[in-house]
Amino acid sequence: MNLFWLVASFLLCVTSSSRGFSRSTGTVNVGSIFTTSSINGKVAKIAIKAAQDDINSDPSVLGGWNLSITLQDSNFSGFLGIIGALQFMETDTVAIIGPQSAVMAHVLSHLANELHVPLLSFTALDPTLSPLQYPYFVQTAPSDLFQMAAIADMISYYGWAEVIAVFTDDDQSRNGITVLGDKLAERRCKIAYKAALPPDPTATDSDVVAMLTKIRRMESRVIVLHTFSKTGLRVFDVAKRLEMMQDGFVWIATTWLSTVLDSKSPLPPDTAASIQGALTLRPHTPDSKKKADFVSRWHQLSNGSIGLNPYGLYAYDTVWMVARAVRTFLDQGNPITFSNDSKLMGLGGGKLNLGALSVFDGGSRLLNLILQTNMSGLTGPLSFHPDRSLHHPAYDIINAVKTGQNQIGYWSNHSGLSVVPPETLYDKKPNRSSSSQHLSAVVWPGGSTVTPRGWVFPDNGRQLRIGIPNRVSYKDFVQKLNGSDAVQGYCIDVFRAAVKRLPYAVPYKFVPFGDGRRNPSYNELVTQITAGVFDGVVGDIAIVTNRTKTVDFTQPYVESGLVVVAPVKKLSSSAWAFLRPFTPLMWAVTGAFFLIVGIVVWILEHRINDEFRGPPKQQIVTILWFSFNTMFFAHRENTVSTLGRLVLIIWLFVVLIINSSYTASLTSILTVQQLSSPIKGIDTLVTSDERIGFQVGSYAQNYLIEQLNVAKTRLVALGSPEEYAAALANGTVAAVVDEQPYIDLFLSDYCEFSVRGQEFTKSGWGFAFPRDSPLAVDMSTAILALSENGELQKIHNRWLTKKVCSTVNTAGSGSEQLNLQSFWGLFLICGIACFVALLVYFWKMLHQFKKYFPEDSSVSSAAAQAGSASGSSSRSRRIQTFLSFADEKAEVWKTKSKRKRGDDLCNGFDHNHAI
């Protein structure tokens, strides 16, 4: 700041020695700073003059005050822009419209902060001009923050992952590209390279040629050009000569190109030819009668010297914004007064005339009134958010074509990309989903209407270095032929077939990785991509988490997953094979329930059903016969009680499930060759203390240690199928853990081993490329095409379909046995039903017993007087009576009860008569 004020003081010494404080009370002084030889400067000059005339011609606007706008030409010079601003401060200026560029805005904003003079610019749209740092600076057109968001949405919409940014090396362009990088990152895209050019308009053809020549050798073909009209047109002219406006290239220019299209129509033939196919943005201004009337006036205002662009509309509205704020300022009784700056006076002395600068006393109030603007101008409704950004920023998306320009859609901060005007969507709920984003067809550079891929292989003459594992086992997947550079195998054929389906040529060469004496570490192989040694890796590379953190994989071309292989022995059929379906405990519980259900049904039916009565031996036989006949639903005894039928229905349902399960399991045992092993799967293997084999270089080792917590001392590295077989046969390892494709080949030669359990991981094999490589996406598409047309399966059959063992490997009988755990719920339900039925039955029987045989109170009293012996005898007789009641048929006890009540009545009558 001290340096700034020293410079300012020096300039004041040169431009002004002294000035007084006299001012006309009927004039409101406003300054403007533009480069009048630029397109926006020419348009702004005409629009500002028109706005001034319109305001002064209508006394109701400023209430009799006269608006005086003075223009200073900065002529592309920040130095002249500073001088112009200082000169405005000498004439008691209440506001300054401008500057045109952000370079000057960053400097002049410090002056505005000190002297409280609002700066209003519709072209200095640098996103970093923060209202916190520069409170007196106001952007009256949408900030480049929104323009860069629109470009990022376009790049994402077309599916491009990387872009090259070409920009002028000044504050506005550099900061805009920084924001673009942030917006792209939000959409998982990025700027691959940033190319800076000298500040406009100092860039020369040689500067541009050197820059574009370097870009042409790069991979990305999507170029974002953020500069100004003179430099931008020079870039397009050179790109045309370097054949960079041909098929495959994408050029997206910021709003500078739309100003050229609008203001220089028709374009010179050479200029029109050099920009054909480019996309650009134009600030969107909705149609209105006010706008149409101004457009119709423009030819007269400009004398046909230049066409109108949106920044001319913003210039006109900015003047009206200041005028309305000043009118409100005056109506509130605020005087336009200025006072000396104490800081400047303190620096006075010598020949410096710092008193020429004064502070606008009402600057803060005027600034607040400007920010409270709510008007309808040529650019549509104008108002500010609390962060000082304009409401509803939007852009037209333009395609430069032979006939001039073609509008392909719109972008708004509300709804993103659309083919309908943004104002029609403002009343609807925001929808930024990918399905709602639309643009019309584009004519790209070279005349193609097919969306370019957006990248090519670098034009540097170098073949891609594709790393392959130098395997010593399972060479069906990858094999380097001895004595030559030839490579073959399943993975190699899949890669070559996928490359052939790409719509462009891919120069590559295979580079073996490993010493050839043992399988290399695949983690180290993949790491060579991030180290820049390889441009990709092809082979049997499993797609696992730690690898995806550093590289990108293609779509899997084969499914994979870890499995357990262990020695097995055949189970020969025996006379007792029918017992295998159930475990011993299951047999015992099932038999016990047959007896329990038989006993329960006998109890429930005994008193009322003649088929469940008879001598004790006959009743036992009936219970057993009834119980086990329910297994075949062949019981002949009818159940007549409701409780008995309920228990029987539940039990028959249980029997149905048990019979079906037994039949299915026994069929499997008798018709499929059974293999037995103590290893049932990964769970039994991990919980045991047995040693485990794995393939050298496989990710299985890390998985077992890190994910399953297997001690490293239990793991044994094995290098080939022969080592697998030997280690399993001699007991060096109890099992081998490896990926399914390897095991399929291994078991085709060694039938004495079998897969135990199921795959306990799910993954696949893919080709690895650097992060964000477009080749990974295109190769994935090619692999899917190979899968859909059956070519991938043909390659698989050619390399991996081997002879199979004559027997079918299945899990051992122990794992097929049905245990109690699978049926305990059924048994529980049946047991509860039996218990509840018995409980209800005995409660009803006790109730009937008390009804038919009530306890005589006189007898009970006599028994109590006779002593405990007599009481015990009475309880014993009553229990015997209850047991007899429970054993006797119900009809018999009813008959006896009726006869007993009749005898008691007769005895009572005779006794009374005798008395």
* CA diameter of the chain: 158
pLDDT band at 807 (very low <50, low <70, confident <90, very high): very low
Angle of helix 774-788 relative to helix 791-800, nearest 10 degrees, comes to: 80
> What confidence tens digit (pLDDT) does each residue in 642-682 have?
777 787 778 778 888 777 777 777 776 666 545 556 677 88
* 191-202 pLDDT, tens digit each: 999 999 998 888
CB neighbours (10 Å) of residue 531?
9
* 14 — pLDDT class (breaks 50, 70, 90): very low
User: Rounded mean pLDDT of 355-371?
Assistant: 88
Confidence of residue 290 (pLDDT cuts 50, 70, 90): very high
pLDDT of residue 482: 72
Say if residue 810's pLDDT is above 60. no
Q: Which tokens belong to 650?
A: 């539940």
pLDDT digits (tens, 9 = 90+) for 211-268: 999 999 888 999 999 999 999 999 999 999 999 999 999 999 999 999 999 998 788 8
* Sequential DSSP letters for 329-355: HHHTT----EEE-HHHHHT-BTTB-GG
Confidence of residue 813 (pLDDT cuts 50, 70, 90): very low
Beta-bridge mates of residue 162:
190
Q: Give φ, ψ of 75 to 5 degrees.
A: 50, 50
Non-local (6+) Cβ contacts of 836 within 8 A are none
pLDDT at site 816: 57
Q: How far apart are CA 392 and CA 411, in angstroms?
A: 10
Flag the least confident range among 288-297, 405-414, 575-584.
Answer: 575-584
Give, rounded to a whole angstrom, the gap between the first and last alpha carbons of the chain: 139
Residue 869 burial (CB < 10 Å; 0-12/13-18/19+)?
A: exposed
In this predicted structure, the answer to whether residue 209 has a pLDDT above a threshold of 90 is yes
The predicted pLDDT at position 595 comes to 81
Mean pLDDT of 40-46: 94
Cis preceding-peptide flag for 512 (omega within 30 of 0): no
Mean pLDDT of the chain: 83
Answer yes or no: is pLDDT of 111 > 90.
no
